[in-house]
Amino acid sequence: MLKFIIKRLLWIIPVLFGVAIIVFTILYFSPGDPALQALGDNASPEAIEAFNKDMGLDGTYFDRLVRLVTGLCKGDLGKSYKTRTPVINELVTKFKVTLRISAYAIILGIILGIFFGIISALYQNSIWDTLSTGVALFGISMPMFWQGLMLILLFSVILNWLPPSGYGTWQQMIMPVVALGVNSSATIMRTTRSSMLEVMRQDYIRTAKAKGQKFSTIVIRHALHNAMIPIITVIGLQLSALLAGSIVTEVIFSISGVGRYLVDSMTARDYAAVQGCVILIAFVSAILNLIVDIIYTFIDPRMKTMYESAGVKLNPKKLAKAAEVSNG
């Protein structure tokens, strides 16, 4: 088991380098000169050259790539063109904000999603089922940014209950967390429902009934445990989705997190900062995915056996994931 975790942790390293190379390459071909952007159009050639040297913008594509990769090894994400300070410092503080909101959002999403998913599945075709599947479908159809705006319109503009922007107080947290979490809860709800429906049809549920077990115990001990397997996959995917969703959420609610930093840097063509954000987000997603995989082994003993015997080379979960992606 430990071997599996270590292997997976090591696997993150090439993924990170790969991501760094992809992002760097994409941004390398981006139009616009960062020096001119930072120094203004009238900057002298000497100043530009000094800026480029300072920022590591001189040299060929390969020189810069090598510099990026060696920097990454030391945990250095380069300097922001705008502030000329290391990107990493900026990111650490901002990331705490993003992580906190995302964590609350996913907790909200899990609680609402699993609860309504179970209700829906157990009372299939009842009014509760129709209602919650309907709401969930709206939930996944609403663009997150619009949802945020509608919350502001309702709770800040019309009702005047909650502050429309900022970060810090619990009142300020409510709307961003809800805006982020509702989408996830809708997806988790749909997965929970279909997974529970599938599991409740299984033979082992009938076996449990034949033992004389109570319905509630069957649902919790036998059905939910099995149904959690695909649900965990979706929660894992939602974690990455939340990090991406924080981009629009933070812009709407003026929260100074990684997402907003990314958008600001992109607008200012501060590509070092953009690169740093993307690498950080990829890194965090990879760690979160690893955690999800570890949770898997606790939920599904078959996974554990497989990891322990075959190592990690072929991860059948990936196939399952692909299927999940296709299910939205």
Partner 1 sequence: MAKKTRDKNQHHSMVGEVWHQFKKNRNAVIGLIVLCIFIIIAVFAPVIAPYGYDDQDATHTKIAPCREYPFGTDNLGRDVLSRIIHGSRYSLMIGFLAVTISIIAGGILGVLAAFYPKLDNIIMRTMDLFMAIPQMLLAMCIVAALGSSLFNLMLAVGLSSTPQFARVVRASVLSTRGQEYVEAARAIGGSDFNVIVRHIIPNSLAPLIVQATLSMARAIISASALSFLGFGIQAPKPEWGAMLSAGRKYIRQCWWLTVIPGLAIMVVVYALNVVGDGLRDSLDPRLKK
Partner 2 sequence: MSEKILDIKDLSIRYVTEEETVLAVNGISFSLDKGESIGLVGETGAGKTTTALGIMGLVPDPPGEITSGTIEFEGENLLEYPEKKMREIRGGKISMIFQDPMTSLNPVMPVGDQIREVVLLHNNVSKAEARSRAEEMLEQVGIPKERYDDYPHQFSGGMKQRVIIAIALACSPELLIADEPTTALDVTIQAQVLQLMKALRTQYQTSMILITHDLGVVAKICDKVAVVYAGQIIESGTLKDIYTNKQHPYTIGLFNSLPDIEHETSELKVIKGLVPDPSNLPKGCKFNPRCPYCTPECCENEVEMTALSDTHSVRCIHVGEFDREA
| 130 touches partner 2 by CB under 8 A | no
* Spatial separation of the C-alpha atoms in residues 244 and 241, rounded to whole Å: 5
What's the min distance (Å) between Cβ of 211 and partner 2? 4
Binding residues for partner 1, rule: CB under 8 A, are 15, 18-19, 22-23, 26-27, 29-31, 137-138, 140-146, 149-150, 152-153, 157, 240-241, 243-245, 247-248, 251-252, 262-263, 266-267, 269, 271, 274, 277-278, 281-282, 285-286, 318-319, 321-323, 325-328
Check binding of 214 to partner 2 (CB under 8 A): yes
- Under a CB-based contact definition with an 8 Å cutoff, are residues 132 and 116 in contact? yes
Instruction: Examine residue 210 and tell whether it contacts partner 2 (CB under 8 A).
Output: yes
Cα angle: 135, vertex 141, 146; to 5 degrees: 105
3-state secondary structure (DSSP) of residue 79? strand
Residue 212 site contact among partner 1, partner 2, none (CB < 5 to 8 Å, cut-off depends on kind): partner 2
Q: Find, among 14, 77, 328, 320, the residue nearest to 190 by Cα.
A: 328
Of partner 2, partner 1, none, which one does residue 145 interact with (CB within 5 to 8 Å by kind)? partner 1
Which alpha helices (H) appear in 29-169, and where do they start and end? 34-39, 45-55, 61-73, 87-122, 127-141, 144-151
**295 lines the binding site for partner 2 (CB under 8 A):** no
Stretch that binds partner 2, among 3-11, 93-101, 136-144, 207-215 (CB under 8 A): 207-215
Give yes or no for a contact between 246 and 148, defined as CB atoms under 8 angstroms apart.
no
Give the x-and-dash track for 298-327 against partner 2 (CB under 8 A): -xxxx--x----------------------
Q: Which residues are paired to 86 by β-bridges?
A: 79
Is residue 203 near partner 2 by the rule CB under 8 A? yes
DSSP 163-190: -SS-SSSHHHHHHHHHHHHHHHHHHHHH
Of residues 7, 42, 328, 10, the one with CA closest to residue 188: 328
Q: Which two tokens stand for residue 48?
A: 């530009």
Interacting partner of 204 out of partner 1, partner 2, none (Cβ under 5 to 8 A depending on kind): partner 2
Binding status of residue 206 toward partner 2 by CB under 8 A? yes
The binding site for partner 2 (CB under 8 A) comprises 202-204, 206-214, 221-222, 225-226, 299-302, 305
